[in-house]
Chains A and B, each alone.
Chain A
Amino acid sequence: MSHVTDEPTDELTQLLDQAAPTDDGLNKENKITIIAWGGDLDRIWPTLILSTTAAASGMEASVFFTFWGLFTLVKPGVRITGDNWMQKMLSVMNPGNPSKAKLSRYHFAGAGPGMMKKLARDYKTPLPSELLEMARDMGVRLIPCQMTMDLLGLKREDLIDGLEEPIGAATALLEMKTAAIQLFI
C-alpha cells in the first residue's frame, strides 16, 4: 500500500518529466516580435508604442515590416520608387513613412490623420514619426522583408537608416518562434 508523502515518488518525477515540453533549443525568450503588415497610421502607431515600450522594459523587441507595413520605413522625402509603372503606381498610392500614412477608417481624404496628429500634439502623445525615431533609439530591431522589397521595388537606399539586414519568411518565423509574444498587426 502506498502512503502519502511530501516527496515526489520516482514514478511521479518520471511522469512530470514526460509532460514537460521537449527542449528543441528554441525556448522562448523575453522577447516580442511584431509582424507589421498594415501600413495604416492606426496600425503602425500601436506597433511602435508596444515595441518601444518593450525595449524600455528590457525586453528584446523586433518588428518585421512586410507588405504595406514596409512603406513605413521609406525615407521622408523619397516619393516615387520602383522600376516599372506598377511599382511606381503602388508607391504613389502608399506615400510611405508614418507622417504620410493613412487611417484605416475615418480617413476623410487626409483630414482624419491631420486630426489624429492634432490630438496627439494636444495630448502630448508622440507622433508615429517620432515613435519610429524613439524605437530605433531604444534598440528596437527594425527588419525589412526582402521579398516585399523586391515585389514593391523598394531599394535599401529608399529606406531609412538604422535598419537590420532584410530577411525572408524562414528567418521571420525563427524570430517569432523564439519570442514569448508574437503579434501580427
Chain B
Amino acid sequence: MDVITGTVTRTVDARGQSCPGPLVTLAKALKDAARGDLLELLATDPGSRSDVPSWATISGNHLLEAGELEDGTFRYVIRKA
C-alpha cells in the first residue's frame, strides 16, 4: 500500500449513487478544497473502479489510492492538483 503523506481533509460519501453521480459529487467537493488537499471518496458504484482513475487522468488530479473496504465499499484517496 502507498504511504500517504498528509491526512484526509474530507470524506466524500457517494455511496448509493450511480454514474455519473460519484464523480459529480467528488467534483463539487473538490471545488471547496485547496490545492494539495487529500479527499477520500466512498462509492458503491462498480463502474467507479474504472471511472475514478479515468477521471483523475482527464482532470489532472492525483489518485493516490484505490481499494475496497470490508463491506464492499470502494474507497479512493485523491489529491487535488
Contacts and interface: CB of A to CB of B under 8 A. Distances in A.
A55 B59 CA distance: 9
Interface string A105-148: 00000000000000000011110000000100010000000000
Interface residues of B, number: 15
A59 interface: yes
B19 A56 contact: no
B36 interface: no
Interface residues of A, number: 15
A49 interface: yes
B26 interface: yes
Contacts of A123: 18
Given A56-B26, A56-B27, A49 B58 contact: no
Interface of B, secondary structure class, is helix
A49 B19 contact: yes
A125 B45 CA distance: 10
A53 interface: yes
A55 B24 CA distance: 8
Contacts of B58: 54, 57-59
Contacts of A52: 20, 24
Contacts of A53: 19-20, 23-24, 55
B58 to A, nearest CB: 4
Nearest to A125: B18
28 contacts: A52-B20, A53-B19, A53-B55, A54-B58, A56-B55, A57-B23, A57-B27, A57-B55, A57-B58, A57-B59, A58-B27, A58-B58, A58-B59, A58-B60, A59-B58, A123-B18, A124-B16, A124-B18, A124-B21, A125-B19, A126-B18, A126-B20, A126-B21, A134-B20, A134-B24, A138-B24, A138-B27, A138-B28
Q: Which 4 A-B pairs have the closest CB atoms?
A: A56-B27, A57-B58, A58-B59, A53-B20
Interface of A: 49, 52-59, 123-126, 134, 138
